[in-house]
Amino acid sequence: MAEGSSSRYEFLSGFILGFHGTKKEIAEKVLAGHTVLRKSANNHDWLGSGVYFWESSPSRAYQFALETFARYEPPYIGDVGVVGAIIDPGKCLNLLEAFAIT
């Protein structure tokens, strides 16, 4: 997209490696093809409902899952796992370039 464009969306070429932290048993079922990740639909999901991934950071996905499960009441004390995905971003909201957010 050219500098100064008025669109907040653009098509991104290439692929992104994404990582999603979850309970270990869920990660194993997803990797075995027995289930899919459920989309989050909470009021605090500031980007809307969907499955959230950390870009290029399996360790951050793991850490986020630990932090999230520690806030459960009662806290989840099981093992955490990470699912990786190759993501084709397609048409995306651009939050990185100043011209796209003004």
Q: What is the dihedral of CA 89, 64, 32, 34, to 10 degrees?
A: -90
Closest CA to 26 of 67, 69, 56: 69
Angle in degrees, CA 40, 74, 39, rounded to 5: 10
Contact 52, 20 (CB under 8 A): yes
> What is the rounded CA–CA span in Å between residue 32 and residue 26?
10
Higher pLDDT, 9 or 14: 14
Q: Is the pLDDT of residue 5 over 90?
A: no
- Taking residues 3-13, report their average pLDDT: 68
Global pTM reads 0.79
- 42 DSSP β-pair partners: none
Split at pLDDT 50, 70, 90, the class of 1 is very low
The pLDDT score that the predictor gives to residue 43 is: 86
The pLDDT score that the predictor gives to residue 12 is: 79
- Taking residues 39-57, report their average pLDDT: 90
- Taking residues 8-29, report their average pLDDT: 91
The pLDDT score that the predictor gives to residue 63 is: 97
- Taking residues 41-62, report their average pLDDT: 92
The pLDDT score that the predictor gives to residue 20 is: 98
> What is the rounded CA–CA span in Å between residue 69 and residue 86?
25
Unique residue bearing structure tokens 């464009």: 5
